[in-house]
Amino acid sequence: MSVGHTEVTGGTTGPVVSCAEECGVRDVQDRLGDKWTVHVVVELAAGVRRFKELQRLVPGISQRMLTLTLRRLERDGLVTRTVYATVPPQVEYELTETGHSMTHLIKALVDWSLEHRPVIAQARRDFDERQP
């Protein structure tokens, strides 16, 4: 909080960014940075989903990773888990209010990603060409 506080007052191009070090940014990074959370949240944004359903909707995710991802989301209060005592068992997952607020964040991510994808791809090709 005291050390390393950074304040960038938006001049010509940049916005105001403050205290990016240990103000919980790492927490969000851990979540958005992992391999599956974003995809799972996107699918849950559409509504209530069952476990198997999510596994179908998110291609390539393993059972193990879906479980781990959902558990972490549940632990952070971003997802609710409802178990029905049926045979076979049925479990439903749903975004909480906080979880839904994260979809705005993800939308920003997706938008920026789509917008700059071609430019970045080209920059990458140019760079790799110069460095054999």
Report CA-CA distances (Å) from 99 to 8, 38, 49, 62, 88. Answer: 29, 11, 14, 22, 28
Provide CB contacts within 8 A for 90, sequence distance 6+. Answer: 50, 83, 84
Minimum CB distance to a second copy smaller for 57 or for 91: 57
What gap in Å lies between CA 132 and CA 129, rounded to an integer? 6
Say whether residue 53 binds DNA (CB under 7 A). yes
Number of residues that bind a second copy (CB under 8 A): 64
Say whether residue 62 binds DNA (CB under 7 A). yes
What gap in Å lies between CA 110 and CA 67, rounded to an integer? 24
Say whether residue 63 binds a second copy (CB under 8 A). no
Q: Which of 1, 85, 87, 119 binds a second copy (CB under 8 A)?
A: 119
Site residues for DNA, window 24-43 (CB under 7 A)?
30, 34-36
CA torsion angle 54 60 62 65 (round to 10): -80
Stretch that binds DNA, among 16-24, 60-68, 106-114, 118-126 (CB under 7 A): 60-68
For CA atoms 75, 98, 70, 32, the dihedral sign is: negative
Site residues for a second copy, window 75-104 (CB under 8 A)?
75-78, 95, 97-98, 100-104
Say whether residue 21 binds DNA (CB under 7 A). no
Using CB under 7 A, list all residues that contact DNA. Answer: 30, 34-36, 50-53, 60-65, 67-68, 70-71, 81, 83, 88-91
